[in-house]
Amino acid sequence: MNNARPCVLAACAAAFLQFGCELAPTAPVSFDSSADVSIAAVTPQQALGRLLFFDKNLSLNNNQSCATCHDPKWGFTGPDPMINAHGAVYEGSIAGAFGDRKPPSSAYAGESPILYFDGTGWVGGSFWDGRATGWTLGDPLAEQAKGPFLNPMEQALPDMATLVALVAASTYADTFDAVCPDSDTPERYNCIGRAIAAYERSAESSAFSSKFDASLKGKARLTGQEQLGYNLFLNKAKCALCHPAPLFTDYTYDNLGMPSNPENPAYVADPSFRDPGLGGFLRAAGYSEDVWGIELGKFKVPTLRNVDRRLSKSSIKAYGHNGYFKSLKEIVHFYNTRDVGSWPIPETLANMNDTELGNLGLTVAEESAIVAFLKTLSDGYVK
């Protein structure tokens, strides 16, 4: 959606403000041991964002950071194969507290525009349902970064003042003071969100270092199967209609007819639960039923970059907003055969995309070729 890009870049350029604060006593910072924190960020703002991203102290019980659900070694998404194999929803800082969606990747999210209606559908925003619109800060990614800290199902801090106090008392208080020197708590909270967004836009988070990227530079060559998969991706399989390169998302919203995940904690608690997605957010935001009704069951099109990145080939990742699918092979087969195969009924029957998937006519070999191509999108490729 190139018509939105200039507006977003201008908004983001204007968004970062310098704010001030008093130094406070320091406390040790606890980092996620699963995450690689060896690569230095480039700017002070990115450096602060990186420290915030990996700091478990910024949660009610000092046990959850952004990286807990968005691990770099897993493509900045959920890193626990056992959780991914079942409900795919991660427990919050409070024991027994669960949301209802699988963590999306936090990488490659910085180009998503401020949420808007383009005449045919909604585009942009952040979170699966678009509720981090960018309407307040001019940056959906910064608004999203603020949310988990105060979400009782995630890091569960009671208020923004508590978060700001924790950061001001951390071992990186000097960095916080330099990047966010304002004494106003709401502005410092906004500055925290912007710093995390800056890190998520950095070359560490959005590296463009996959085999696919290397092939574009003439530094690698796709195999015959991978090249066939890419050709199918662009044409017969219709993947590129919603997942165009280079970011492999168009930031729109879609109902793919995905089945409910019976192990999703929300479904376990209430078998009648159906995630309303974008439609639920628009309803809560006060839009009329003729607006939100046609968006029920739609979720943001995720980037396919790092879609296969994980610690080992045998480690299970989950796919889809509710984590129903457990392998690329399975979800590609679903895209191909949703309307002609033996699949459970969709979570939301209304508003399904019935033109770009469901009966693609792909052979088993063609499905395998698409999976082979998707595996070339993992960052960290070494020839």
Q: How many CB atoms lie within 10 A of CB 349?
A: 12
pTM above 0.85, yes or no: yes
In a domain, 90, yes or no: no
In a domain, 88, yes or no: no
Residue corresponding to tokens 């304002």:
182
- CA 307, 309, 314, 319 torsion: positive or negative? negative
Q: Which of 77, 71, 146, 128 is nearest to 249 (CA)?
A: 128
Give the Cα separation of 203 and 361 in Å (integer).
38
- The pLDDT tens digits for 244-282 are 999 999 999 999 999 999 999 999 999 999 999 999 999
Q: Are residues 261 and 325 in the same domain?
A: yes
pLDDT value of residue 183: 87
Q: Are residues 32 and 154 in the same domain?
A: yes
In a domain, 64, yes or no: yes
Low-confidence ranges of the chain (pLDDT < 50): 1-40
Q: In terms of C-beta density within 10 A (0-12 exposed, 13-18 middle, 19 or more buried), how is residue 25 classed?
A: exposed
Q: Are residues 15 and 158 in the same domain?
A: yes
Q: Are residues 191 and 315 in the same domain?
A: no
Is-contact 13 48, C-beta < 8 A? no
- The pLDDT tens digits for 37-88 are 334 458 999 999 999 999 999 999 999 999 999 999 999 999 999 999 999 9
CATH number of 312's domain: 1.10.760.10
Give the Cα separation of 22 and 165 in Å (integer).
10
Q: Are residues 265 and 315 in the same domain?
A: yes
Identity of the amino acid at 64: Q
Could you tell me how far CA 103 lies from the centroid of its own chain? 6
Q: Are residues 215 and 318 in the same domain?
A: yes
- Which one of 154, 172, 200 terminates a domain? 200
pLDDT value of residue 322: 97
Q: What's the domain count of the chain?
A: 2
Give the Cα separation of 77 and 206 in Å (integer).
13
Q: Are residues 127 and 239 in the same domain?
A: no
- Classify 364 as helix, strand or coil: helix
Range of the domain at 277: 211-377
pLDDT value of residue 10: 29
Token couple for 76: 């900045």
